[in-house]
Structure formats: structure tokens, C-alpha cells
């Protein structure tokens, strides 16, 4: 029974951030530097842009235009930016695909 339980735990944690947050939303990094106050933004598969406001933990890779990532996030409703291309989010998990 112990072996089965540890296997189940592995499956539950696979694809999660270090704090156990599930990275289940696919997005593409796009460089919006040409727009006032913008830099890299996340574009979801359905086309919605998200502005990155904060990270639970900084990603350990360099952002590149067109890079595919998986994320989990919380919308930061009390925050505003100059860029204004989409909601500002706190990323709870971000990993390269």
C-alpha cells in the first residue's frame, strides 16, 4: 500500500510549482515593448493578454518572444499599469513547455 500511495503523490505533484500550485494554463510570452509601459506579456491560447505583476517565485529562465509556458495565476484587481493590455496577474507558477 505504501508504494501505491507514494506513486499517487508523485502524480498529484507532477506539473506543479514548488508550493504545489498546478501550472495548468498554457500561454505564450510576447514582447510588447513598443507599447507605452509594456514589456513581456502572457497571451493565453484564447488570445487574452495578461500583464505580469508579481511572482511567487521568479522564473529560472530568460524570457524570449514566442516562448511557450504553463502558468497559474491570481488576478491583482487592486493594481493598475500604464500598459493596459489586459489584467495584471500574480504568477503562482510558471514553467517552460
**β-pairing verdict for 88-96 and 68-75:** antiparallel
Report the alpha-carbon distance of residue 79 to residue 26 in Å, rounded. 23
Question: Which one is predicted more confidently, 61 or 11?
Answer: 61
Quote the DSSP letter at residue 78.
T
Specify the pLDDT at position 11.
36
Quote the DSSP letter at residue 2.
H
pLDDT greater than 80 at residue 5: no
CATH at 37: 2.40.50.500
Q: How confident is the model at residue 70 (pLDDT cuts 50, 70, 90)?
A: very high
- The tally of domains found in the chain comes to 1
Report the alpha-carbon distance of residue 97 to residue 93 in Å, rounded. 13
pLDDT greater than 70 at residue 18: no
Domain that holds residue 14: 2-96
CA distances (Å), origin 59, targets 6, 18, 30: 28, 11, 16
Amino acid at each position: 500500500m505504501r508504494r501505491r500511495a507514494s506513486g499517487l503523490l508523485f502524480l498529484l505533484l507532477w506539473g506543479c510549482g514548488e508550493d504545489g500550485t498546478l501550472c495548468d494554463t498554457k500561454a505564450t510570452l510576447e514582447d510588447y515593448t513598443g507599447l507605452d509601459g509594456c514589456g513581456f506579456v502572457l497571451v493565453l491560447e484564447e488570445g487574452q493578454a495578461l500583464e505580469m505583476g508579481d511572482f511567487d517565485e521568479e522564473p529560472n529562465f530568460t524570457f524570449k518572444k514566442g516562448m511557450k509556458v504553463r502558468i497559474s495565476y491570481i488576478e491583482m484587481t487592486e493594481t493598475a499599469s500604464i500598459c493596459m493590455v489586459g489584467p495584471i496577474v500574480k504568477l503562482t507558477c510558471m514553467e517552460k513547455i
